[in-house]
Every structure is written in C-alpha cells, then in structure tokens.
C-alpha cells in the first residue's frame, strides 16, 4: 500500500520529470548524464522533506542544480586531466586539430607541386623558407613588389585548386 509520501513523489515525477530533465540538459548538455541526474534528483527528493517554502518545480530544480554542481566538482579533475591529455605538447594544439592541420598541410603540398614556376618556388620560399619579399625578389633578380604580387597570385592559384 502506497504511503502519502510515495503518492506525492509519484505525482511530482509524473508532473515535473520533463521540466527537471530539460533544466539539467541545459546545464550538462549530455543526455546520458541528464537522465542519470534527473533520476538522482527524484531519488533525493524522495528522501527529503518538502517544506513548501517554494514551488514544487523550484524545489526539484534546486535539488537538480545542487547535484549538477556536485558532479561538476567531482569531475573537475577528470575534465582537467582530459584537456591536458588532448593537448599536443609540441604544438600546443589539441590532438584533433593537429591531425586536421597535418592533413591540410599534405593537401596543400600536393596541390603546390602542381603549380607552375615561379609560383611554386615563391610560395615555398615565403611560407616554408620564411623569407621576406625583399629576399625573394633578390633571389629572382626582381623587385620586392614583384615578389609580393607573384606570392599573392600563387596563393590564389592554390586556393582555386584546393
């Protein structure tokens, strides 16, 4: 036989489940964690005494918020460790961004080799050799402005082919 408290919790669950779940989802942005925390909210409510000082929904959301904050505090170390592991110490980028960057570099090199001269060489000297436009102009026996214009054209050709 159900007690009045059991009936009260059942009514709360039926009435406010989606409200509490939605509220928690806005905080944690993970459906699995939100489901777990919603269940935990009603479990905690079942073992607490509702004093009627606030609305039922407000009371449940306050419990949910406290549980979320507890979870964030517990997982702070876990999230901190994960973010450290996901950083490539050589580049300072996340491993995922590093892989994407390497893939793009390979694609750029493939396309770069299809460019005709002097575009290929000027682009390489500027980007990989890190030479100034003045130095590039001197190598080709041309002006600094010629090196700028030719480099700009090589970039446009690369972008077009990519």
CATH code at 95-161 = 1.10.10.10
Over the Cα atoms of the chain, what is R_g? Answer: 30
Per-residue pLDDT of the chain (162 residues; tens, 9 = 90+): 778 888 888 999 999 999 999 888 888 888 888 999 999 999 999 888 888 888 888 899 889 988 988 888 887 655 444 443 343 444 444 444 555 555 566 777 777 778 888 888 888 778 767 778 888 888 888 899 998 988 888 888 877 776
Question: Which token pair is 14?
Answer: 């039926």
- CB under 8 Å to 40, separation ≥6 — which residues? 67
CATH code at 4-85 = 1.10.1740.10
- The pTM of the whole model exceeds 0.85: no
Domains of the chain, by residue range, sit at 4-85, 95-161
């Amino acid at each position: 036989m159900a007690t009045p408290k059991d009936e009260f919790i059942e009514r709360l669950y039926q009435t406010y489940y989606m409200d509490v779940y939605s509220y928690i989802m806005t905080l944690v942005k993970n459906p699995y964690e939100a489901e777990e925390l919603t269940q935990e909210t009603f479990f905690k409510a079942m073992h607490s005494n509702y004093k009627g000082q606030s609305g039922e929904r407000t009371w449940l959301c306050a419990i949910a918020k406290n549980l979320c904050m507890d979870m964030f505090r517990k997982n702070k170390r876990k999230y901190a460790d994960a973010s450290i592991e996901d950083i490539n110490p050589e580049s300072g980028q996340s491993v995922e961004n590093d892989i994407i960057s390497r893939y793009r570099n390979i694609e750029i090199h493939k396309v770069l080799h299809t460019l005709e001269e002097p575009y290929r060489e000027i682009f390489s000297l500027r980007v990989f050799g890190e030479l100034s436009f003045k130095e590039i102009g001197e190598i080709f026996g041309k002006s600094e402005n010629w090196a700028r214009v030719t480099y700009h054209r090589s970039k446009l050709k690369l972008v077009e082919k990519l």
